[in-house]
Amino acid sequence: MSTQTITPLNSQTIRNAVQLALAEDLACGDVTTSALFPRNIPAEAAIVAHQPMTLAGIAVAREVFLAVDPSLRITKTVKDGTTVKPDTKVLVVRGDVRSLLMAERVAVNFLQQLSGIATLTAQFCAAVRGYSTRILDTRKTTPGLRALEKWAVQLGGGKNHRFSLGDGVLIKDNHLAVLRSTGVDVAGACRLARANAPHGLRIEVEAKTLQEVKEALAGKADIILLDNMSPALVRQAVALIKQRALVEVSGGTTLQTVAAMAQAGADYISVGALTHSAPAANLSMDLSAQRGRRGPAR
């Protein structure tokens, strides 16, 4: 994991996500659990990691259990951002078996999704270790879960790109396609943005060719996004830019190609797959009754 400072996840953001997820899963209650357990049976639930992973979502899983039943007792947690080995118990909760079962799927879902993102991000960051290149996420996130998913990227050592369209100027291919029809080239687009965007925002523009890189430089772009270029072409673009702008590389970068992009001189590499294609981490919840203890009838 990177030693960067992790932006704390807002507690209200966590509560909102948890409330929506529980409303989806428990809208009509848990008919199976209600049929099998008419009374409280004290139990212990342990969520276990089954693969090496960078953990993300413990704070969210805690909120799930406590939202279902505030009387549940969380007796062990592993800190978010920790790299764990297989068979590690990352969260242990005790209390009414009915509450544990109702919380199980939502809590594990959050942990699998967010830990998957953090783990994939950590792999990308490890692949460019030794270079000054930073790994960025994108806005290709699950609707409604962007804050959680971008937090998971940070836990994996990555850096967040824009949270929303209001966070920065990024002139992309569709903007340029329309502007070209009006006679405005890449340089002109940069000048328009500089003149009309809120003061202080950096101007980033996408370039697909070396000619567009030259136009971006003429427009005094702060960041030039090299889109879908090969490492060899990125190297040529970096030589052309000569540190007059920061260089971001984007488009189809994989764990197999990311080091070559870093070696070519990219300052940033943005990877949409961090949030839209990260494999779910392998975790599950193991449940056991607490022997010799029985709760009151309810």
Burial 16-38, CB ≥16 within 10 A → b, else e: ebbeebbeebeeeebeeeeeebe
**C-alpha of 57 from chain center:** 11
First and final CA of the chain: distance in angstroms? 46
| Two structure tokens written together for 9 | 């996840």
Among positive and negative, which fits the CA dihedral 71, 72, 76, 82? Answer: negative
Catalytic residues: 105, 140, 172, 206, 227
H or E element, residue 295:
none
Strands (E), 6-130: 42-49, 53-54, 73-77, 83-84, 88-96
Q: Give the CA distances from residue 84 to residues 109, 116, 120, 159, 191, in Å, rounded to whole numbers and listed in that order.
A: 18, 13, 14, 21, 49
Do 207 and 197 touch, CB atoms closer than 8 A? no
Residues found in the chain = 298
H or E element, residue 114:
helix 97-127
Do 219 and 197 touch, CB atoms closer than 8 A? no
Beta-carbon contacts of residue 157 (< 8 Å; ≥ 6 apart)? 1, 2, 4, 121, 122, 125, 135
Residue type, 55: L
Question: In the 8-state DSSP scheme, what is residue 267?
Answer: S
